[in-house]
Amino acid sequence: MRFFSKRAGAGGALAVAAIFLGLLGGCAGRVKSFASQEEFNSTVTYSRLFDATAAQTCEAARRALLSQGYIIGAAREDMVEGRKSFQPEPESHLQMEIRVVCAPDTPDGKLSLGFVTALQDVYALKKSNISASLGVGALGSVSLPFSSSNDAMVKIGSKTISSDVFYERFFDLVRRYLVVDEAIH
């Protein structure tokens, strides 16, 4: 079956294709837009100056995370990542990931900045029931009494922790481990 006559040519085919794509595009939902969430105000919340090298600051941060039950995923002289899970309710799960980046702040490297970001992911238990059916050509469809449920944790949200108190407590703990580390040397 032909859709276009020879007289319609490529121009007609393009017009039909454009109409088809326009209709198809109308089926897609609109993308929801949000106002900018970033303000770039203060650097006080997420960073602190330490009287230590970057390596010493990151080691103190690693120890601070370990002291609170975080599992260290990566640890280098300039960066530490830790993760900890929480289950506040039977069907909810929270996962906190903290990343610390340590950078020298002076040419001699004896002062450093610690930049910290905490990300909290929220998961919920989603249940889906599965039942079996069997289709045989001549007989039709037959439902079998086999059914099961499939439970899965589904990520429903993620946010950067922005609480000044949260970060102040973390930095106080890092300072405590810096003091202990200096006392050893």
pLDDT digits (tens, 9 = 90+) for 13-26: 555 555 555 544 55
Token pair in block for residue 33: 């837009």
Is residue 161 scored above 80 in pLDDT? yes
CATH architecture assignment, domain 42-132+148-184: 2-Layer Sandwich (3.30)
Is residue 71 scored above 90 in pLDDT? yes
Closest CA to 178 of 75, 80, 56, 65: 56
The verdict on pTM exceeding 0.75 is no
Is residue 2 scored above 90 in pLDDT? no
Q: What is the pLDDT of residues 45-59, one digit of tens each?
A: 899 999 999 999 999
Domain boundaries, the chain: 42-132+148-184
Token pair in block for residue 18: 């454009």
Q: Choose between 149 and 108: higher pLDDT.
A: 108
Q: What is the pLDDT of residues 81-138, one digit of tens each?
A: 999 999 988 888 999 999 999 999 999 999 999 999 999 999 998 887 766 665 566 6
pLDDT at 131: 62
CB 175 within 8 A of CB 50: yes
Q: What is the DSSP string of 16-33?
A: HHHHHHHHHHHHSPPPP-
Q: Is 173 exposed, middle or buried (0-12, 13-18, 19+ CB in 10 A)?
A: middle
